[in-house]
């Protein structure tokens, strides 16, 4: 059997979702299939055909979830406009949403067509693959299915469906929707989420407070991991924030090459709201909105909203501790403290604009790169300062990837498929990202950043 479905979300109030049917596809073609994920899910690969993966053959009726969200600061009622959950797959006691993205219109599509381009779905497959291999909690992609139609966005491309796997697609924005549109269901919904994602809190007499705290800490860990590898999500709306700390929705995302806390690549982020250096601040803002959605739970219980706000007041201390621990690991500093050295190193990065990924590799092994920026007295001075307390090789190798999805290589691979129907560059990039912490002379070119002029003009798109 392809999947073992037991979709608990359907037991919730019908206001929280809609029953839907994927669009008809005559000849769905599997472009990419993640065999490792298939094994992790305990799925019979031979049973997972294009008909099954595209929702043409179904084990049960799919659903589209309703949710809301603050998009660039403005509250909007939303929902799965081009996505459908085929079901919740259960394996070894673990539950995973199997979702189709680009599978057609739903009641939440508005004026959208519910479709997706092949380049955007290949892009999400690659980024979710890379993030998983980088050790970051993330959605995963089981397959990309090319459809038998054309989809017009910035250009006309073949249509595609992504088969996305997550612990669940419940987000901050789901709570915002329930609190604003189905308030009578908020307590039952929160109990469901706690039981599904944080069962250790079920018997706590402060479980709503502890639930908020657990979500906050999971989200902090996620964003600190983004900062570790130079990832820019690009669209940190509250509807794109997982309740379980999973990174998802790889639309206008990118990896930062040259260090710039103002780095923005998204075409719709005109004012830099979700820039690399703003992700911490935006996470805190989003958590404030999530806390507000829990406030009604405090009126009819012994828990007060002041208790949740008190946990939120701990955000800065929690984030600071996580961030400096991460940066000490990147600099190979085994002991606590050393914040001053971390700050001085960050000041050097800001002033130099050096490549973020390669700088740590150069600190670890001087002479790895020929970039003249590493031959300066300033860099030698900062390296000597770090060497006095750090440069522990084992720590650095665990924290610093040798390879990330370089923007120019990603675009080159996507362009090759769209124009020539050739996945060779895409597969070569996947091969390199399979082991991002292991150097290989044969793939050294994948470590090189693009010309600065490329990144200065580089733009990513949602393609919704």
Active site residues per annotation = 239
Contact 17, 66 (CB under 8 A): yes
Q: Is 90 helix (H, G, I), strand (E, B) or coil?
A: strand
- Among 14, 10, 45, 11, smallest CA distance to 30 is for 45
Angle (CA) 14-15-17 rounded to 5° is 70
Q: How many CB atoms lie within 10 A of CB 338?
A: 21
User: What is the rounded CA–CA span in Å between residue 132 and residue 246?
Assistant: 10
Counting DSSP H helices and E strands in the chain, the numbers are 16, 10
Give residue for tokens 């739970």.
Answer: 297
C-alpha to C-alpha distance for 328 and 330, rounded to whole angstroms: 5
Give the DSSP letter of residue 137. Answer: -
Give the contacts of 242 (CB within 8 A, at least 6 positions apart).
166, 167, 169, 170, 171, 219, 222, 248
Q: What is the C-alpha to C-alpha distance for residues 71 and 88, in angstroms, rounded to an integer? A: 27
Distance CA 78, CA 97 (A): 19
Query: What is d(CA 378, CA 352) in angstroms, rounded to the nearest whole number?
Result: 9
């Amino acid at each position: 059997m392809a999947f073992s479905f037991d979709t608990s979300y359907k037991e919730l109030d019908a206001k929280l979702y809609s029953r839907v049917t994927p669009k008809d596809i005559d000849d769905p073609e599997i472009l990419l299939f993640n065999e490792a994920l298939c094994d992790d899910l305990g799925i019979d690969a031979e049973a997972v055909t294009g008909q099954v993966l595209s929702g043409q053959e179904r084990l049960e009726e799919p659903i589209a979830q309703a949710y809301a969200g603050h998009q660039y600061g403005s509250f909007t009622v939303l929902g799965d406009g081009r996505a459908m959950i085929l079901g919740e797959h259960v394996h070894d006691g673990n539950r995973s949403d199997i979702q189709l993205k680009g599978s057609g219109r739903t009641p939440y599509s508005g004026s959208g067509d519910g479709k997706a381009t092949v380049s955007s779905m290949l892009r999400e497959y690659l980024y979710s693959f890379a993030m998983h291999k980088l050790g970051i909690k993330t959605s995963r992609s089981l397959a990309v299915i090319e459809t038998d139609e054309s989809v017009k966005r910035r250009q006309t491309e073949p249509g595609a469906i992504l088969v996305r796997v997550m612990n669940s697609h419940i987000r901050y924005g789901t709570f915002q929707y329930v609190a604003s549109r189905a308030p009578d269901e908020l307590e039952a919904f929160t109990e469901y989420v706690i039981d599904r994602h944080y069962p250790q809190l079920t018997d706590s007499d402060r479980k709503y407070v502890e639930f908020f705290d657990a979500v906050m800490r999971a989200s902090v860990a996620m964003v600190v991991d983004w900062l570790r590898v130079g990832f820019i999500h690009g669209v940190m709306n509250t509807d794109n924030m997982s309740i379980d700390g999973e990174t998802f929705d790889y639309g206008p995302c990118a990896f930062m090459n040259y260090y710039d806390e103002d780095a923005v690549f998204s075409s719709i982020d005109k004012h830099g709201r979700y820039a690399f250096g703003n992700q911490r601040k935006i996470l805190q803002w989003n958590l404030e909105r999530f806390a507000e959605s829990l406030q009604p739970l405090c009126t009819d219980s012994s828990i007060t909203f002041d208790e949740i706000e008190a946990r939120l007041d701990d955000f800065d201390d929690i984030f600071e501790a996580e961030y400096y621990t991460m940066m000490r690991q990147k600099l190979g500093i085994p002991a606590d403290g050393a914040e001053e050295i971390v700050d001085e190193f960050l000041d050097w990065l800001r002033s130099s604009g050096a490549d973020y990924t390669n700088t740590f590799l150069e600190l670890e092994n001087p002479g790895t790169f020929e970039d003249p920026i590493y031959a300066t007295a300033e860099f030698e001075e900062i390296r000597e300062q770090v060497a006095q307390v750090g440069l522990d090789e084992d720590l650095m190798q665990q924290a610093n990837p040798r390879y990330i999805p370089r923007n120019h290589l990603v675009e080159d691979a996507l362009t090759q498929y769209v124009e020539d129907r050739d996945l060779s560059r895409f597969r070569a990039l996947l091969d390199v990202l399979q082991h991002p912490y292991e150097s290989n002379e044969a793939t050294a070119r994948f470590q090189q950043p693009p010309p600065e002029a490329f990144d200065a003009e580089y733009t990513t798109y949602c393609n919704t």
